[in-house]
Amino acid sequence: MTLRIRSGEQPDVPLIAELIRGLARYEKLEHEVTLTEEKLDRALFGERPYAETLIAEDDGRAVAFALFFHSFSTFLAQPGIYLEDLFVVPEARGGGVGRALLEKLAETAVERGCGRLEWAVLDWNEPAIRFYERLGAKPNAEWTVYRLTGESLRALAGQ
């Protein structure tokens, strides 16, 4: 395996969309995916990019990706990196690709002066949980994540 990790670029939008759909299938959340390549292109490469991607390639073939963005800790007075998605195609799992992506993200966080790298994992995803804990990651069990979407979000916005 010749693994290369690179930043995603605008021509990668169809590939990134395909990997996102693969992640959704794995997480049994395909029904929640409403992305279009046009929306993804604007979000990643438009006037105000909201996220960045890393793509892992094995001998030139994309086998994984990570999508992340900056957060901010008021307590640390430092930025952080929030890993929204990490996905390795099934045939490449167990070969160190996920670890390589997380190493690159950790390196990016340190280079950018970030105080933390964090993410969420589905509670049923035991293989991922064990993998993250082997890396030294700790669950943040004191916090519960809340989310507003759709009609609830629009109602709060007065729309």
pLDDT of 35 reads 96
Residue spans of the domains in the chain: they are 3-156
CB distance 156 to 148 below 8 Å: yes
- For residue 141, the 8-state DSSP code is T
Domain 3-156 class in CATH: alpha beta
146 included as an active-site residue: no
Residue 29 CB: number of other CB atoms within 10 A?
Answer: 11
What is each CA distance from 110 to 80, 132, 139, in whole angstroms? 9, 18, 21
Predicted TM-score (pTM) of this structure: 0.93
pLDDT tens for the chain, 159 residues long, are 799 999 999 999 999 999 999 999 999 999 999 999 999 999 999 999 999 999 999 999 999 999 999 999 999 999 999 999 999 999 999 999 999 999 999 999 999 999 999 999 999 999 999 999 999 999 998 888 899 999 999 999 999
Instruction: Spot the catalytic one: 26, 50, 82, 132.
Output: 132
How many Å apart are CA 81 and CA 65, to the nearest integer? 15
The tokens describing 109, both together, are: 């966080």
Residues belonging to the chain: 159
